[in-house]
Chain A
Amino acid sequence: MRSSLIFFAFFVSGIFAGLSGLLPQGFDFNKFGSYALYLLMFLAGVSIGSDKNSWKVLASHNYKIIWVPVTIVVGTLAGSALVDLILPALTVRETMAVGAGFGYYSLSSVFITQLHSQSLGVVALLSNIFREVATLLATPVLVSYFGNLAGIASGGATSMDTTLPVISNYSGKSYAMVAVFSGIVLTILVPFLVTFILTV
């Protein structure tokens, strides 16, 4: 929660810097373009690869937990494809790309800005922050109606860190491991899926 406030604060202060008019109009984000994206991708990869927990959890033998991130991917993409029906301004590809952030707003918004457009990048930022905040608030209710996987499903990629405490509180400690596993798999998938959806 604290880190999402910091990320959001940087974004908002950028907006005010832009609105202040002290900067030239038509500031072109894309000029910083692909090199910045490559750097970010590389750092994100190193961060995933150097995390001891990710390899440990991925090597766990319980085959059942593999289905958890799979259902979250299917459910998220189905939901974000269907919602396109009430969002005429966006294409299915665009809503699915935003959904494929799985709550990992920082990286997905920057990717989408670079690969697609600024306005969709802002949609992705707000949408994925909202997914994290909604998970923090709604997990107790979701778990009581939809079972112990509900908080993990709602949290998406955030279930490995920011929403983990609330999940293990309401689903039980034994689900904390499932949450970490699912969060790691989805975190790794975000850059691949977003790129795939927007460019294929």
Chain B
Amino acid sequence: MIAILLVLTAGILVGFLLVGRPAWHRFNNHSLNLAIYGMLFLLGISVGTNREVIGNLGTIGYEAIAIAIASIAGSVLISSILFKFLFKKHAK
């Protein structure tokens, strides 16, 4: 885990050196997208060849929607308290 976080931090520092160089910024975002396309395609292949996952797509979809709704509900509820106490007063 430490190795992964070090790589990420190194990336952020390298990125910091590239601030103000839009060509590099675009190039990097392009490579990041390509890498993610590739990984998602490979993830799709491994899902397609994995009977266990394919057989459970219904359950997986249900779990995905439940977690998404719970995440949205939790953050919306707590942020509405923050809004009431910190943001609304000042807006008036």
Using a CB–CB distance below 8 Å, which chain A residues touch chain B?
3, 6-7, 10-20, 23-29, 32, 36-52, 55, 64, 67-68, 71-72, 74-80, 82-83, 86-87, 89-90, 95, 98-99, 102, 106-107, 109-110, 113, 118-119, 121-128, 130-131, 134-135, 138, 142, 146-150, 152-154, 156, 188, 191-192, 195-196, 199-200
Please count how many residues in chain B sit with their CB below 8 Å of the partner chain's CB atoms: 74
Determine which of A27, A79, A82, A188 lies in contact with B72 in the assembled complex, contact meaning CB atoms within 8 Å: A79
A80: chain B residues within 8 A (beta carbon)? 67, 70-71, 74
Tell me which residues from 59 to 91 in chain B have a Cβ below 8 Å from any Cβ of chain A: 59-61, 63-84, 86-88, 90
- Measured CA separation A135–B32 after assembly (Å): 24
CB–CB B11/A17 < 8 A = no
Per DSSP, chain A at the interface is helix
A22 nearest CB across to chain B (Å)? 10
CB–CB A118/B84 < 8 A = no
- Measured CA separation A170–B90 after assembly (Å): 19
CB–CB A18/B40 < 8 A = no
B61: chain A residues within 8 A (beta carbon)? 126
A153: chain B residues within 8 A (beta carbon)? 72, 75-76, 78-80
CB–CB B79/A149 < 8 A = yes
CB–CB A14/B44 < 8 A = yes
A76: chain B residues within 8 A (beta carbon)? 71, 74-75
- Measured CA separation A72–B24 after assembly (Å): 32
